[in-house]
Chains A and B, each alone.
Chain A
Amino acid sequence: MADAAEQVLAPDARRGARTDARSASDTSVVRRAAGETVIELSDVRVEARERVLLDGVDLAVRRGEVLTLIGPSGAGKSTLLKVMNRMVELESPPLRVTGSVRLGGCLDGRLDGRSIYEPGVDADDLRRSIGILFQQPVLFPASIRDNVLFGALHHERLSRPARRERLEKALREAALWDEVHHRLDEPAANLSVGQQQRLCLARALAVEPGILLMDEPTSALDRSAAAAIEALIGRLAEERAVVVVTHDLDQARRIADRIACVCVEDGRGHVGEVVRRGDPFFDRLCRDTVIATSRDERPRPARSDESEEQTG
């Protein structure tokens, strides 16, 4: 238990100034007070052709917090993540989402109070303000510089100095600036996998999203590269909301302010407990309850969702 407490403390220490007066137990309370709700899912249901993947999902994401989605593989964590920026619609075949997913304070408040699945909502605009990081780093065959600015330059016209500034800011936020600032015009493919993943993070940040989604961002990385990403996550949440899908329970405990468990019942995923840091249940939950119950309750292997996660 002492070990766990240390791990809980560790990310807070890295968060610097804001953690001064806080103990591990009141972190999320303070943050929650500070942040308004930026995504609110209520009664969301996701259907594939003949199967209900997720049902009755209620979940709120707040600015300034790291929300972690955990659960057995195939439960629909990744799907739930992609519900938040409508990337579920790009799956083949596309998944159908019902229920409401409301945004707050995004897109200059244009969508406040409306569900992003209402007709008339521009999904591309939406994705612009909700960044996403995938399991595997995906680079475009171009230089480091062009990769970072790729999204940003499609969305806004930036002057030369503004570009430079945006580039540096994004790379610094992704803790990559020191490693690459002298070789920005080299092909991005020359970077190590861990660096590539941070480059993808920088690319997402350069678009200046209000919400950042991460789909098992460290599962393809080795331990130290994963640690580098983990170390960043808390800081990224200072200005935005961060939602991280992970299968690594220790990781969830290290980075999360709140943990939501995606469990399976009758073959359908739903969000069970949402536990915040400091709750006495926080540690126990990941370790015992979720895995044990969900394994038992899983009536059949949830194939399609899992294979999509793996191959995608």
Chain B
Amino acid sequence: MRRLRRFDPVRWMALVATLFVVAVAAGLVAIFAVHSLPVWRHSGSDYLTGTEWFYRAARFGVLPMLYGTLVVSGIAIALAGPLALGAALFTAEVVPERRRLWIKVPIELLAGVPSVVYGLLGVLLLRDWVYRLLEPFEPLSGDTLLTGGVLLAVMILPTVMTLADDALRGVPAAQRRAARGLGLTTAQTAVSVSLPQALPGIGAALLLGLGRAMGETIAVFLVVGRRDNQWPESVLSPEAWVAAGQTLTSKLGGSETFIAYGDPLHWGAIAGLALALTLLVAASSLVGSRLARRGASGGSDA
């Protein structure tokens, strides 16, 4: 009865905000799905499995870009994961409480550096370093998938590290104390008490980092070379990794998005890219956060 009688601003605010966000999320998926219909009608499953993208010839295949995205973010996770885990182990297990901030604060600031600044450093420094590194293999330029991957590794490092640190610190301090009381060293405690219990959370950290890497646009755009139709003969051959390529985001960030809008088919192909990217990223972050939730509840049960 009270609810009917009185206007409740809390309920109202919460409701409006939630509905707005629901509308954005649903609208996003719906719009890109509907807009991409023409390309599905035109190409069918070739859209996903095709390796060629020539929009003037109305041929749209996203596989090379999917490949580029996976390679770039895979390199990023492979480089950033171990480093971030090591740093997280250091802050959570080794460093005394009061000195943690000496590391946590710079890392948090690192997370705030804009991606265009990373991109700029990539263009002006990293590109040349990669070129010199690859000189024996006679690369065409320093703009390669590898360059993009290294840059992304630096960018996702803070995310992965902060989340892994949270996961490790979620392990009750009493457990560490009990292990130390049995005469285990810091390292033994970290490896056989903290790490196993924090594993779901660390998995989540890696997945959320992967999601960020896949969705990052600007920095990758500037260093990845943006060459279409780079489909390697063998998917695992590292030769393609040290050559220019295209990712989903670098394609979407390019001028083709502008050009395409008037043409339903071409725009459909672009909308399909956006949809694929969103689903990839959403999947990895949803699985990641579910994993983190499970890890957190599992830890407190035990």
Chain A residues close to B by CB (< 8 Å): 85, 87, 90, 92-94, 124-129, 131-132, 134, 136, 138-141, 150-151, 154-155, 189, 200, 203-204, 207, 312
Contacts and interface: CB of A to CB of B under 8 A. Distances in A.
B177 A138 contact: yes
Interface string B89-117: 00000001110000000000000000000
B183 A125 contact: yes
Given A140-B193, A141-B197, A90 B177 contact: yes
Contacts of A131: 181-182
Contacts of B98: 92-93
Interface stretch (B141-149, B184-192, B201-209, B249-257): B184-192
Contact of B182 (A92, A128, A141, A312): A128
Contact of B184 (A85, A92, A151): A151
B302 interface: yes
B178 A93 contact: no
State which size class the interface on B falls in: 20 to 34
Interface in B50-100: 96-98
Contacts of B301: 141, 189
Contacts of B192: 150, 154
Which 10 A-B residue pairs are closest in the complex by CB-CB distance? Answer: A128-B183, A141-B302, A151-B182, A138-B178, A127-B183, A132-B181, A92-B97, A138-B174, A124-B185, A124-B183
Interface string B160-190: 0000000000001111011111111100100
A85 B181 contact: yes
A88 to B, nearest CB: 12
A269 B267 CA distance: 78
A124 B174 contact: no
Contact of B180 (A90, A129, A312): A90
B254 to A, nearest CB: 50
A168 to B, nearest CB: 19
B96 A92 contact: yes
B178 A200 contact: yes
Contacts of B181: 85, 87, 127, 131-132, 134, 204
Given A131-B182, A140-B179, A312-B177, 8 more contacts: A92-B98, A94-B96, A138-B178, A141-B302, A150-B182, A154-B183, A189-B301, A189-B302
27 contacts: A87-B177, A87-B180, A92-B96, A92-B97, A92-B98, A93-B96, A93-B97, A93-B98, A124-B185, A125-B183, A126-B183, A127-B180, A127-B181, A127-B182, A127-B183, A134-B177, A139-B302, A140-B178, A141-B197, A141-B298, A150-B192, A151-B183, A154-B183, A204-B181, A204-B182, A207-B182, A312-B173
A207 B188 CA distance: 15
A246 B192 CA distance: 31
Nearest to B182: A151
Contacts of B174: 134, 136, 138, 312
A141 B98 CA distance: 29
A135 B50 CA distance: 65
Contacts of B96: 92-94
A144 to B, nearest CB: 13
Contacts of B180: 87, 90, 124, 127
A217 to B, nearest CB: 13
B175 A138 contact: yes
Contacts of A85: 181
B178 A124 contact: no
B178 A134 contact: yes
Contacts of A141: 197, 298-299, 301-302
A134 B188 CA distance: 20
B47 to A, nearest CB: 47
Contacts of A203: 182
Contacts of A139: 302
Contacts of B172: 138
B199 to A, nearest CB: 11
Contacts of B299: 141
Nearest to B299: A141
A150 B173 CA distance: 17
A203 B193 CA distance: 15
Contacts of A200: 178
B302 A154 contact: no
A203 B182 CA distance: 8
Most buried by B among A94, A141, A312: A141
Most buried by A among B173, B181, B298, B301: B181
Nearest to B196: A141
Most buried by A among B172, B174, B182, B298: B182
A126 B174 CA distance: 19
B168 to A, nearest CB: 15
B188 A154 contact: yes
A189 B172 CA distance: 15
A138 B185 CA distance: 18
Nearest to A94: B96
B278 to A, nearest CB: 37
Nearest to B183: A128
